[in-house]
Amino acid sequence: HLDGRWQNELLPWNYRKLVLSYLKSNMQLLDMGTGGGELLKTFHHPSNKTQVTEAWQPNINLLKHTIAKQGIKVHALPAKHEDALPVKNGSLNMITNSHAAFTPKLIKDKLKTGGYFISQQVGALNNYSLSRFFDSDYVPAYPDNTLLKTVADLQNLGFEILLAKESQPSMTFFDIGAIIYYASIIPWEFP
């Protein structure tokens, strides 16, 4: 619906390349909130060493007919518990998370000593200026979802932070219909 109707500035890092720089074929991997598994598939990780979580039912249905048939374990989560990790404590070498909610303590519990957590999140300030343009009283739905707080929470649990970056890429919309569609798919940013 947005093809040719908007332009979104790229992030100054490449999440996929960051994951691949640490991921080794013998590691036990969990991809949280995998969506349809599109990004996960680009990791080319052995199926028998890969698990995923997903909370949105249409994606769960898709995953049952795609990656689950390839031997990847799919953990279907209740919609309000997307941060759950139904795996054994200390069983994972890496947890990846590109936008799903998470609880730092659960991440720590599930990782083996020396394990990696690689996450790319949408923060409290995402679309802030556009949301404020439409509603001068707009307050972010998740105001505590900041890089500073997340880093502090992880460090308080003993994590060593290897990389922490923040970016608010610019967006350009070419027609009002594109803005309306965009706002309709993320209602928590455009109430």
> Could you report the per-residue pLDDT of 158-168, keeping only the tens digit for each?
999 999 999 99
What is the domain partition of the chain in residue ranges? 11-125+142-170
pTM: 0.90
Q: Counting beta carbons within 10 angstroms of the beta carbon of residue 21, is it exposed (0 to 12), middle (13 to 18) or buried (19 or more)? A: exposed
**What is the predicted pLDDT for the residue at 25?**
98
Place of tokens 């680009």: 42
* Residue of 187 and 69 predicted with greater confidence: 69
The secondary structure of 88-136 as a DSSP string is -TT-EEEEEEES----HHHHHHHEEEEEEEEEE---TTTTHHHHHHH-T
Mean pLDDT of the chain: 95
Q: What is the pLDDT of residue 29?
A: 98
CATH 3.40.50.150 fits 11-125+142-170, yes or no: yes
Per-residue model confidence (pLDDT) at position 94: 98
Residue 82 has pLDDT above 80, yes or no: no
Rounded Cα gap, residues 31 and 26, in angstroms: 15
> Could you say which DSSP state residue 72 is in?
-
